Amino acid sequence: MRLGSNEKFLVTGGAGYVGAHTVHCLIAHGVSPQNIIVFDNLVHGHKEFLPDGVVFYQGDLLCKEDIRRVFLSHPIDAVFHFAAYAFVGESMACPGKYFENNLLGGIHLLEAMVQSGCRRIVFSSSCAVYGVPGDVAISEEIHPAPVSPYGESKLMFERILAWYHRIHKVSSISLRYFNAAGAGYGIGERHTPETHLIPLLMQAALGQREAFSIHGTDYNTRDGTCVRDFIHVGDLAAAHLNACAYLSDKQVCEIINLGSGEGQSVLQVIHLIQALTGSRIAARMAERRPGDAPVLIAGNQKAAHMIGWKPRRSLGDILESAWIWHTQEAGCHA
Ligand SMILES: NC(=O)c1ccc[n+]([C@@H]2O[C@H](COP(=O)([O-])OP(=O)(O)OC[C@H]3O[C@@H](n4cnc5c(N)ncnc54)[C@H](O)[C@@H]3O)[C@@H](O)[C@H]2O)c1
């Protein structure tokens, strides 16, 4: 599956972690930087993640005019929609902030697309739509039951996409990512605040954090800690290209999981990082967090069948690339 060489792509949230990776991946697959338009308000994005030559708009999806202007200035063929707030914990404290940004911002984008005749979108959804499912590999058929406003906002936007497909013939693929991790193209996880497992552990290994809290050690899992499915951000980026190419000649509204199909417990990841870095991580047992599922592992057959995607990098690749990036970020050398 290939993207057209003269097509123009809009990447909302393209200065963020996964979005910027996808921008680099597009260029690595032959798309000219001048055919990539990145739209980001830089609330959580980093302009320095972007390669030279891409067209950058600093704008906010909550401002209709900002996004309309982009479509008036460029004939966009397809959209990669990453822009969103993505902290589960924050969404539990500030639900309105999440519903406003992740839904209203997305609706402004869809309206601008429809007005300009652009009818192809790949959307960053999340395994957070599943809530707390059983400990089986989760297929897309499982009934979604989010347990946070963040997960709910992703599910609601998937449903909005279904209506835009029905009424306006907008074709979409919602990609439900599991745990994105790892680094490449000089881009790694730099979140403020940091809440993700692997960057927290890397910071602990570098001595930037005194201790790491394990939330829940009495789950019904192999060692009592939560089990997660980690997927390399470069593999995620590649899946976006496949999904977009798939949409080029199809009128569909689809949902696809993106995960490795394997689970690792928090304790296993700690041990692997200790072995990789040679650092001892002081782990502290802490209370369970409300809404944390014991096990989240992707069923990833649909991605293979529909868009010809399989993860290529292992957890070892994820941790090595993240370690290199974090040591560089910390200004020291491993
Ligand atoms: N990282 C993960 O593990 C993960 C897992 C599942 C889903 N996702 C989803 O993938 C997408 C990208 O995640 P990420 O980790 O790269 O997050 P990120 O915060 O690094 O990137 C999001 C980008 O969107 C921008 N943005 C937010 N609101 C905006 C607005 N109103 N207008 C313009 N720009 C706006 C931010 O500045 C940021 O650059 C998000 O939609 C997230 O919900 C991420």
Low-confidence ranges of the chain (pLDDT < 70): 1, 135, 332-334
Pairing of strands 120-126, 78-81: parallel
Element (H, E) at 169: none
Within a 10 A sphere around the Cβ of 261, how many other Cβ atoms? 18
Which of 17, 98, 150, 246 is labelled catalytic?
150
211/155 Cα distance (integer angstroms): 34
pLDDT tens across 202-255, in order? 999 999 988 899 999 999 999 999 999 999 999 999 999 999 999 999 999 999
**Ligand 1: residue whose CA is nearest its atom 7:** 126
174/282 Cα distance (integer angstroms): 38
Handedness of CA 222, 224, 229, 234 (dihedral sign): negative
**Ligand 1: residue whose CA is nearest its atom 18:** 16
Q: What is the pLDDT of residue 10?
A: 98
Q: What is the pLDDT of residue 135?
A: 65
The response to whether residue 174 sits with its C-beta less than 6 Å from ligand 1 reads no
Structure tokens at 139: 């297929």
Which domains are present in the chain?
9-182+231-259+302-307 (3.40.50.720), 197-227+262-298+314-329 (3.90.25.10)
What 3 state SS string does 39-90 have? EECCCCCCHHHCCCCCEEEECCCCCHHHHHHHHHHCCCCEEEECCCCCCHHH
CA distances from 179 to 20, 162, 229, 261, 264 (A): 17, 25, 6, 11, 11
Q: Which atom of ligand 1 is nearest to the CA of 86?
A: 43
Contacts of 249 (CB under 8 A, 6+ apart): none
The response to whether residue 41 sits with its C-beta less than 6 Å from ligand 1 reads yes
Q: How far does residue 125's CA lie from ligand 1's centre (Å)?
A: 10
pLDDT tens across 141-165, in order? 999 999 999 999 999 999 999 999 9
Cβ atoms of residues 298 and 257 within 8 Å: yes
269/212 Cα distance (integer angstroms): 12
The response to whether residue 124 sits with its C-beta less than 6 Å from ligand 1 reads yes
Cβ atoms of residues 121 and 81 within 8 Å: yes
CA 329 to chain centre: 21
Q: How far does residue 218's CA lie from ligand 1's centre (Å)?
A: 32
Q: How far does residue 148's CA lie from ligand 1's centre (Å)?
A: 16
Q: How far does residue 18's CA lie from ligand 1's centre (Å)?
A: 7
Handedness of CA 146, 152, 157, 160 (dihedral sign): positive
**Residue 164 falls in the annotated catalytic set:** no
Q: What is the pLDDT of residue 4?
A: 77
Q: What is the pLDDT of residue 204?
A: 93
